[in-house]
Amino acid sequence: MNIIKRIIQNVFRYRLTACFFIIGQLIMYVTIFGALGIYNKAYQKEADRLAALYKNRIEMSVVSLNKSDILSACTDGVTEGNIRAKKVGLYYTERKSSTVAPEIILAVNEELPYVMESGRIPGTSEEDYGKRLVALGRSQYRYAYEENGKHYVTFENETYEVTGVIGNEGSDYSDNMIVFDNRCLGDNVRKAVNEMKEYTIAIDSNTEELNDTYKKVYNNVYGADINCAIESRSVSGNGQSTVEKTLQKENIRINKVVYIFCILNCMLMSEFWIIERNKEFAIKRTYGFGQLRLIGGIARDILILGVASLVIYVLVHLFAAGVLGIKLYTISWNLRLIASVLFINLTALVCTIIVPVYRIMKMNPAVTLEDME
Protein backbone atom coordinates (compact mmCIF):
# COMPACT_ATOMS: atom_id res chain seq x y z
CA MET A 1 0.00 0.00 0.00
CA ASN A 2 2.85 2.36 0.87
CA ILE A 3 4.50 1.58 -2.47
CA ILE A 4 1.34 2.53 -4.37
CA LYS A 5 1.03 5.71 -2.30
CA ARG A 6 4.63 6.69 -3.07
CA ILE A 7 4.14 6.04 -6.78
CA ILE A 8 0.99 8.18 -6.90
CA GLN A 9 2.70 10.98 -4.96
CA ASN A 10 5.63 10.83 -7.36
CA VAL A 11 3.38 10.95 -10.42
CA PHE A 12 1.29 13.86 -9.16
CA ARG A 13 4.19 15.82 -7.71
CA TYR A 14 4.15 18.04 -10.80
CA ARG A 15 0.50 18.98 -10.46
CA LEU A 16 0.12 21.52 -13.26
CA THR A 17 1.63 19.27 -15.92
CA ALA A 18 -0.33 16.30 -14.60
CA CYS A 19 -3.58 18.29 -14.74
CA PHE A 20 -3.01 19.39 -18.32
CA PHE A 21 -2.04 15.84 -19.24
CA ILE A 22 -5.24 14.47 -17.70
CA ILE A 23 -7.35 17.10 -19.49
CA GLY A 24 -5.77 16.06 -22.78
CA GLN A 25 -6.45 12.42 -21.96
CA LEU A 26 -10.09 13.19 -21.09
CA ILE A 27 -10.60 14.87 -24.45
CA MET A 28 -8.99 11.85 -26.07
CA TYR A 29 -11.36 9.47 -24.27
CA VAL A 30 -14.34 11.55 -25.35
CA THR A 31 -13.07 11.26 -28.91
CA ILE A 32 -12.29 7.55 -28.63
CA PHE A 33 -15.63 6.53 -27.18
CA GLY A 34 -17.45 8.91 -29.50
CA ALA A 35 -15.76 7.28 -32.49
CA LEU A 36 -16.39 3.78 -31.13
CA GLY A 37 -20.02 4.74 -30.58
CA ILE A 38 -20.24 5.80 -34.22
CA TYR A 39 -18.60 2.58 -35.41
CA ASN A 40 -20.90 0.55 -33.18
CA LYS A 41 -23.92 2.38 -34.55
CA ALA A 42 -22.78 1.86 -38.13
CA TYR A 43 -22.24 -1.88 -37.72
CA GLN A 44 -25.45 -2.32 -35.72
CA LYS A 45 -27.36 -0.51 -38.45
CA GLU A 46 -25.85 -2.83 -41.04
CA ALA A 47 -26.74 -5.84 -38.88
CA ASP A 48 -30.33 -4.58 -38.63
CA ARG A 49 -30.46 -4.09 -42.40
CA LEU A 50 -29.23 -7.62 -43.05
CA ALA A 51 -31.64 -9.06 -40.48
CA ALA A 52 -34.53 -7.34 -42.25
CA LEU A 53 -33.66 -8.89 -45.62
CA TYR A 54 -35.70 -11.87 -46.70
CA LYS A 55 -33.99 -14.90 -48.21
CA ASN A 56 -36.17 -14.80 -51.33
CA ARG A 57 -37.26 -11.44 -52.74
CA ILE A 58 -39.12 -10.29 -55.83
CA GLU A 59 -39.96 -6.67 -56.60
CA MET A 60 -42.63 -5.55 -59.04
CA SER A 61 -42.60 -1.94 -60.24
CA VAL A 62 -46.19 -1.17 -61.21
CA VAL A 63 -47.31 1.75 -63.37
CA SER A 64 -51.09 2.18 -63.44
CA LEU A 65 -53.26 5.04 -64.68
CA ASN A 66 -56.81 3.81 -64.05
CA LYS A 67 -56.86 4.44 -60.26
CA SER A 68 -58.08 0.93 -59.43
CA ASP A 69 -57.51 -0.71 -56.05
CA ILE A 70 -54.66 -2.92 -57.20
CA LEU A 71 -53.19 -3.33 -53.71
CA SER A 72 -56.33 -4.95 -52.33
CA ALA A 73 -56.75 -7.20 -55.36
CA CYS A 74 -53.15 -8.37 -55.72
CA THR A 75 -53.22 -10.73 -52.72
CA ASP A 76 -56.27 -12.80 -53.73
CA GLY A 77 -55.47 -16.48 -53.31
CA VAL A 78 -51.98 -15.81 -51.93
CA THR A 79 -51.08 -18.17 -49.07
CA GLU A 80 -47.27 -17.99 -49.06
CA GLY A 81 -44.85 -15.15 -48.44
CA ASN A 82 -45.31 -11.61 -47.21
CA ILE A 83 -46.41 -8.88 -49.58
CA ARG A 84 -45.85 -5.15 -49.12
CA ALA A 85 -46.34 -1.99 -51.13
CA LYS A 86 -43.32 0.33 -51.04
CA LYS A 87 -42.38 3.77 -52.35
CA VAL A 88 -45.84 5.02 -51.51
CA GLY A 89 -45.96 8.80 -51.25
CA LEU A 90 -48.34 10.25 -48.66
CA TYR A 91 -48.76 13.69 -47.11
CA TYR A 92 -47.71 13.71 -43.46
CA THR A 93 -49.55 16.63 -41.88
CA GLU A 94 -47.46 16.91 -38.71
CA ARG A 95 -44.27 17.07 -40.76
CA LYS A 96 -45.91 19.43 -43.25
CA SER A 97 -44.42 17.48 -46.13
CA SER A 98 -44.89 14.44 -48.31
CA THR A 99 -42.94 11.30 -47.53
CA VAL A 100 -42.13 8.14 -49.47
CA ALA A 101 -41.20 6.24 -46.31
CA PRO A 102 -44.53 4.39 -45.83
CA GLU A 103 -44.85 0.66 -46.40
CA ILE A 104 -48.26 -0.94 -46.63
CA ILE A 105 -48.51 -4.56 -45.55
CA LEU A 106 -50.77 -6.39 -47.99
CA ALA A 107 -50.42 -10.01 -46.88
CA VAL A 108 -48.69 -11.74 -43.96
CA ASN A 109 -47.97 -15.47 -44.07
CA GLU A 110 -44.77 -15.58 -42.02
CA GLU A 111 -42.93 -13.53 -39.41
CA LEU A 112 -42.46 -9.84 -40.15
CA PRO A 113 -38.91 -8.40 -39.90
CA TYR A 114 -39.68 -5.24 -37.94
CA VAL A 115 -37.89 -4.68 -34.63
CA MET A 116 -40.28 -3.03 -32.19
CA GLU A 117 -39.21 -0.67 -29.45
CA SER A 118 -42.75 -0.72 -28.12
CA GLY A 119 -46.25 -1.70 -29.22
CA ARG A 120 -47.04 -3.70 -32.35
CA ILE A 121 -47.44 -3.51 -36.12
CA PRO A 122 -51.03 -2.70 -37.18
CA GLY A 123 -53.06 -5.62 -38.51
CA THR A 124 -51.48 -8.20 -36.20
CA SER A 125 -54.81 -8.52 -34.39
CA GLU A 126 -58.24 -8.99 -35.95
CA GLU A 127 -59.48 -6.21 -33.69
CA ASP A 128 -57.35 -3.83 -35.77
CA TYR A 129 -59.30 -4.42 -38.99
CA GLY A 130 -61.30 -1.43 -40.13
CA LYS A 131 -59.50 1.00 -37.82
CA ARG A 132 -57.03 3.66 -38.94
CA LEU A 133 -53.72 2.49 -37.47
CA VAL A 134 -50.01 2.97 -38.16
CA ALA A 135 -46.62 2.04 -36.68
CA LEU A 136 -43.83 4.61 -36.79
CA GLY A 137 -40.06 4.59 -36.58
CA ARG A 138 -38.59 6.59 -33.72
CA SER A 139 -37.81 9.68 -35.82
CA GLN A 140 -41.31 9.73 -37.28
CA TYR A 141 -42.86 9.14 -33.86
CA ARG A 142 -41.51 12.48 -32.64
CA TYR A 143 -44.22 14.21 -34.68
CA ALA A 144 -47.08 12.29 -33.06
CA TYR A 145 -49.37 14.17 -30.70
CA GLU A 146 -50.99 12.77 -27.57
CA GLU A 147 -54.69 12.73 -26.90
CA ASN A 148 -56.53 10.77 -24.18
CA GLY A 149 -53.42 8.72 -23.43
CA LYS A 150 -52.87 7.66 -27.04
CA HIS A 151 -50.68 9.03 -29.81
CA TYR A 152 -51.89 10.08 -33.23
CA VAL A 153 -50.59 11.33 -36.56
CA THR A 154 -52.33 12.60 -39.67
CA PHE A 155 -51.90 11.33 -43.22
CA GLU A 156 -53.91 12.73 -46.13
CA ASN A 157 -56.11 14.61 -43.63
CA GLU A 158 -56.98 11.39 -41.79
CA THR A 159 -56.07 10.71 -38.18
CA TYR A 160 -54.22 7.47 -37.45
CA GLU A 161 -53.58 5.96 -34.04
CA VAL A 162 -49.98 4.91 -33.45
CA THR A 163 -49.94 1.25 -32.40
CA GLY A 164 -46.19 0.83 -32.07
CA VAL A 165 -42.74 2.38 -32.33
CA ILE A 166 -40.25 0.66 -34.62
CA GLY A 167 -36.57 0.86 -33.76
CA ASN A 168 -33.44 -0.55 -32.23
CA GLU A 169 -31.59 1.43 -29.57
CA GLY A 170 -28.23 0.67 -31.15
CA SER A 171 -28.98 1.97 -34.66
CA ASP A 172 -31.20 4.29 -36.67
CA TYR A 173 -31.97 1.82 -39.47
CA SER A 174 -35.71 1.71 -38.70
CA ASP A 175 -36.11 5.25 -37.38
CA ASN A 176 -37.81 6.65 -40.49
CA MET A 177 -40.15 3.75 -41.14
CA ILE A 178 -43.90 4.22 -41.48
CA VAL A 179 -45.85 0.96 -41.65
CA PHE A 180 -49.54 0.61 -42.49
CA ASP A 181 -51.66 -2.48 -42.99
CA ASN A 182 -54.02 -2.56 -45.96
CA ARG A 183 -56.84 -3.66 -43.66
CA CYS A 184 -56.29 -0.65 -41.40
CA LEU A 185 -56.43 2.19 -43.92
CA GLY A 186 -58.85 5.08 -44.11
CA ASP A 187 -60.62 6.17 -47.27
CA ASN A 188 -58.35 9.15 -47.94
CA VAL A 189 -55.10 7.20 -47.76
CA ARG A 190 -56.54 4.37 -49.84
CA LYS A 191 -57.73 6.86 -52.44
CA ALA A 192 -54.32 8.58 -52.48
CA VAL A 193 -52.58 5.23 -52.99
CA ASN A 194 -54.97 4.19 -55.77
CA GLU A 195 -54.34 7.47 -57.56
CA MET A 196 -50.59 6.95 -57.59
CA LYS A 197 -49.16 6.26 -60.99
CA GLU A 198 -46.21 4.21 -59.81
CA TYR A 199 -45.23 2.16 -56.77
CA THR A 200 -43.49 -1.10 -55.90
CA ILE A 201 -44.97 -4.39 -54.72
CA ALA A 202 -42.48 -6.51 -52.76
CA ILE A 203 -42.97 -10.27 -52.44
CA ASP A 204 -40.76 -11.77 -49.73
CA SER A 205 -40.19 -15.05 -47.95
CA ASN A 206 -37.59 -16.72 -45.76
CA THR A 207 -39.09 -20.19 -46.08
CA GLU A 208 -40.78 -20.56 -49.46
CA GLU A 209 -39.86 -20.27 -53.12
CA LEU A 210 -41.84 -17.42 -54.64
CA ASN A 211 -42.54 -18.52 -58.21
CA ASP A 212 -46.13 -19.58 -57.56
CA THR A 213 -46.84 -16.58 -55.34
CA TYR A 214 -45.40 -14.24 -57.94
CA LYS A 215 -47.61 -15.70 -60.68
CA LYS A 216 -50.70 -15.19 -58.54
CA VAL A 217 -49.79 -11.61 -57.66
CA TYR A 218 -48.87 -10.85 -61.27
CA ASN A 219 -52.19 -12.18 -62.57
CA ASN A 220 -54.11 -10.35 -59.85
CA VAL A 221 -52.47 -7.04 -60.73
CA TYR A 222 -53.28 -7.49 -64.40
CA GLY A 223 -56.79 -8.55 -63.49
CA ALA A 224 -57.28 -5.26 -61.62
CA ASP A 225 -55.77 -3.17 -64.42
CA ILE A 226 -55.13 -4.86 -67.74
CA ASN A 227 -53.45 -1.72 -69.06
CA CYS A 228 -50.87 -1.41 -66.30
CA ALA A 229 -47.15 -1.84 -66.91
CA ILE A 230 -45.18 -4.23 -64.71
CA GLU A 231 -41.43 -4.54 -64.45
CA SER A 232 -40.33 -7.39 -62.20
CA ARG A 233 -36.97 -8.46 -60.87
CA SER A 234 -35.69 -11.09 -58.51
CA VAL A 235 -33.49 -9.53 -55.83
CA SER A 236 -30.52 -11.52 -54.56
CA GLY A 237 -27.54 -10.86 -52.35
CA ASN A 238 -27.26 -8.50 -49.41
CA GLY A 239 -27.14 -5.27 -51.35
CA GLN A 240 -24.81 -2.38 -50.64
CA SER A 241 -23.43 -2.05 -47.14
CA THR A 242 -24.51 1.03 -45.19
CA VAL A 243 -21.42 1.15 -42.94
CA GLU A 244 -19.37 3.59 -45.00
CA LYS A 245 -22.32 5.89 -45.60
CA THR A 246 -23.15 5.96 -41.89
CA LEU A 247 -19.56 6.77 -40.96
CA GLN A 248 -19.51 9.64 -43.45
CA LYS A 249 -22.84 10.92 -42.17
CA GLU A 250 -21.60 10.91 -38.58
CA ASN A 251 -18.38 12.79 -39.49
CA ILE A 252 -16.07 10.08 -38.21
CA ARG A 253 -13.13 12.00 -39.69
CA ILE A 254 -13.59 14.75 -37.11
CA ASN A 255 -13.11 12.21 -34.33
CA LYS A 256 -9.96 10.90 -35.99
CA VAL A 257 -8.51 14.41 -36.34
CA VAL A 258 -9.31 15.24 -32.71
CA TYR A 259 -7.75 11.94 -31.60
CA ILE A 260 -4.52 12.77 -33.46
CA PHE A 261 -4.56 16.27 -31.96
CA CYS A 262 -4.97 14.79 -28.47
CA ILE A 263 -2.00 12.46 -28.99
CA LEU A 264 0.12 15.41 -30.12
CA ASN A 265 -1.06 17.34 -27.06
CA CYS A 266 -0.08 14.44 -24.79
CA MET A 267 3.33 14.32 -26.47
CA LEU A 268 3.72 18.03 -25.78
CA MET A 269 2.73 17.55 -22.14
CA SER A 270 5.23 14.72 -21.84
CA GLU A 271 7.90 17.14 -23.11
CA PHE A 272 7.09 19.59 -20.29
CA TRP A 273 6.93 16.69 -17.88
CA ILE A 274 10.41 15.44 -18.81
CA ILE A 275 11.82 18.99 -18.60
CA GLU A 276 10.49 19.30 -15.05
CA ARG A 277 12.04 15.95 -14.11
CA ASN A 278 15.35 16.37 -15.94
CA LYS A 279 17.33 16.81 -12.73
CA GLU A 280 15.64 13.81 -11.11
CA PHE A 281 16.47 11.57 -14.06
CA ALA A 282 20.04 12.87 -14.28
CA ILE A 283 20.62 12.09 -10.60
CA LYS A 284 19.14 8.61 -11.02
CA ARG A 285 21.42 7.98 -13.99
CA THR A 286 24.37 9.13 -11.89
CA TYR A 287 23.42 6.62 -9.18
CA GLY A 288 23.38 3.79 -11.69
CA PHE A 289 19.78 3.65 -12.91
CA GLY A 290 19.76 2.03 -16.35
CA GLN A 291 17.93 3.50 -19.34
CA LEU A 292 15.41 0.66 -19.47
CA ARG A 293 14.59 1.11 -15.79
CA LEU A 294 13.99 4.83 -16.26
CA ILE A 295 11.93 4.25 -19.40
CA GLY A 296 9.87 1.62 -17.57
CA GLY A 297 9.23 4.09 -14.76
CA ILE A 298 8.15 6.75 -17.23
CA ALA A 299 5.78 4.34 -18.97
CA ARG A 300 4.35 3.35 -15.58
CA ASP A 301 3.80 6.98 -14.56
CA ILE A 302 2.12 7.89 -17.86
CA LEU A 303 -0.01 4.76 -17.60
CA ILE A 304 -1.13 5.83 -14.12
CA LEU A 305 -2.09 9.26 -15.47
CA GLY A 306 -4.01 7.55 -18.27
CA VAL A 307 -5.85 5.28 -15.84
CA ALA A 308 -6.66 8.27 -13.62
CA SER A 309 -8.06 10.06 -16.67
CA LEU A 310 -10.14 7.01 -17.60
CA VAL A 311 -11.54 6.74 -14.06
CA ILE A 312 -12.51 10.43 -14.12
CA TYR A 313 -14.10 9.98 -17.54
CA VAL A 314 -16.12 6.95 -16.40
CA LEU A 315 -17.32 8.79 -13.29
CA VAL A 316 -18.38 11.80 -15.36
CA HIS A 317 -20.15 9.52 -17.83
CA LEU A 318 -22.00 7.68 -15.05
CA PHE A 319 -22.97 10.98 -13.43
CA ALA A 320 -24.28 12.35 -16.73
CA ALA A 321 -26.27 9.20 -17.46
CA GLY A 322 -27.48 8.39 -13.95
CA VAL A 323 -28.08 11.81 -12.42
CA LEU A 324 -28.54 14.22 -15.32
CA GLY A 325 -30.18 11.68 -17.63
CA ILE A 326 -27.81 12.57 -20.47
CA LYS A 327 -26.78 9.56 -22.55
CA LEU A 328 -23.51 10.48 -24.22
CA TYR A 329 -23.08 7.35 -26.33
CA THR A 330 -24.75 4.05 -27.10
CA ILE A 331 -22.06 1.37 -27.03
CA SER A 332 -22.58 -2.37 -27.03
CA TRP A 333 -19.50 -3.94 -25.51
CA ASN A 334 -18.01 -6.93 -27.29
CA LEU A 335 -14.56 -8.43 -27.79
CA ARG A 336 -13.89 -6.36 -30.90
CA LEU A 337 -14.77 -3.14 -29.10
CA ILE A 338 -12.69 -4.00 -26.03
CA ALA A 339 -9.74 -4.89 -28.26
CA SER A 340 -10.17 -1.58 -30.10
CA VAL A 341 -10.14 0.40 -26.85
CA LEU A 342 -7.02 -1.40 -25.64
CA PHE A 343 -5.25 -0.92 -28.98
CA ILE A 344 -6.10 2.79 -29.17
CA ASN A 345 -4.96 3.39 -25.60
CA LEU A 346 -1.76 1.42 -26.17
CA THR A 347 -1.09 3.50 -29.29
CA ALA A 348 -1.59 6.70 -27.29
CA LEU A 349 0.74 5.42 -24.54
CA VAL A 350 3.48 4.52 -27.02
CA CYS A 351 3.21 7.89 -28.78
CA THR A 352 3.24 9.75 -25.46
CA ILE A 353 6.46 8.16 -24.20
CA ILE A 354 8.35 8.72 -27.46
CA VAL A 355 9.68 12.13 -26.36
CA PRO A 356 10.71 11.02 -22.83
CA VAL A 357 12.41 7.91 -24.22
CA TYR A 358 14.33 10.00 -26.74
CA ARG A 359 15.41 12.40 -23.97
CA ILE A 360 16.54 9.58 -21.70
CA MET A 361 18.49 7.88 -24.49
CA LYS A 362 20.31 11.11 -25.33
CA MET A 363 20.81 12.28 -21.74
CA ASN A 364 24.29 12.98 -20.42
CA PRO A 365 23.84 13.18 -16.62
CA ALA A 366 26.90 15.34 -16.00
CA VAL A 367 25.99 17.88 -18.67
CA THR A 368 22.35 17.97 -17.56
CA LEU A 369 23.25 18.62 -13.91
CA GLU A 370 25.81 21.25 -14.91
CA ASP A 371 23.26 23.06 -17.08
CA MET A 372 20.79 23.13 -14.20
CA GLU A 373 23.23 24.66 -11.72
CA distance 180 to 135: 7
- Per-residue confidence (pLDDT) for residue 183, from 0 to 100: 93
Query: If DSSP codes are grouped into helix, strand and coil, which group holds residue 167?
Result: coil
**Same-domain check for residues 213 and 277:** no
Q: How many other CB atoms are there within 10 angstroms of residue 41's CB atom?
A: 23
C-alpha separations of 291 from 11, 282, 287, 349, 364 in Å: 19, 11, 12, 18, 11
The DSSP code for 81 is S
- Tell whether 336 and 280 lie within a shared domain: yes
In this structure, the number of other CB atoms found within 10 A of the CB of residue 31 comes to 21
Q: How many CA atoms are closer than 13 Å to the CA of 337, on its beta-carbon side?
A: 17
Per-residue pLDDT of the chain in tens (373 residues, 90 and over written 9):
565 555 555 556 666 667 777 777 777 777 777 777 777 788 888 888 888 889 999 999 999 888 888 888 999 999 999 999 998 888 898 888 887 678 999 999 999 999 999 999 999 888 899 999 999 999 999 999 999 999 999 999 999 999 999 988 778 889 999 999 999 999 999 999 888 889 899 999 998 889 999 999 999 998 888 888 999 998 887 877 877 777 777 666 666 666 777 777 777 777 766 766 777 777 777 767 777 777 777 777 777 777 788 888 888 878 877 777 666 666 666 676 677 777 777 777 777 777 777 777 776 655 555 555 5
In this predicted structure, what is the pLDDT of residue 371? 53
Residue ending a domain, choose from 194, 213, 236? 236
Residues 279 and 258 placed together within one structural domain of the fold: yes
Q: Are residues 26 and 119 in the same domain?
A: no
pLDDT value, residue 339: 76
Burial of 228 (0-12, 13-18, 19+ CB in 10 A): middle
Question: Same structural domain for residues 327 and 358?
Answer: yes
Q: How many domains does the chain have?
A: 2
Last residue of a domain, one of 191, 212, 236: 236
Q: What is the DSSP string of 23-81?
A: HHHHHHHHHHHHHHHHHHHHHHHHHHHHHH--SEEEEEEEE--S---HHHHTTTT--SS
| 76 and 32 fall within a common domain | no
- Do 34 and 142 lie in one domain? The reply is no
Distance, in Å, from the CA atom of 47 to the CA atom of 174, rounded to the nearest integer, reads: 12
Domain encompassing residue 273 = 2-47+244-371
**Cα 128–Cα 197–Cα 113 angle in degrees, nearest 5:** 40
Same domain membership, residue 353 and residue 257: yes
pLDDT at 132: 95
Is residue 162 domain-shared with residue 270, that is, in the same domain?
A: no
Let me know: does 186 contact 149? Beta carbons within 8 Å.
no
Alpha-carbon Rg for the chain, nearest whole angstrom, is 31
- 93 with 184, same domain: the answer is yes
- pLDDT for 237 equals 77
> 213 with 340, same domain?
no
Task: Give the whole-angstrom CA distance, residue 286 versus residue 181.
Answer: 83
Residue whose C-alpha is closest to residue 127's, from 172, 73, 184, 71: 184
pTM: 0.71
How many C-beta atoms surround the C-beta of residue 222 within 10 A?
15
Domain boundary among 215, 236, 257: 236
Same domain, 256 and 344: yes
Task: Please tell me the distance from the alpha carbon of residue 238 to that of residue 26, in angstroms, as a whole number.
Answer: 40
- Helix, strand, coil percentages (3-state) for the chain, rounded to 5, are 50, 20, 30
pLDDT at 2 (0 to 100): 60
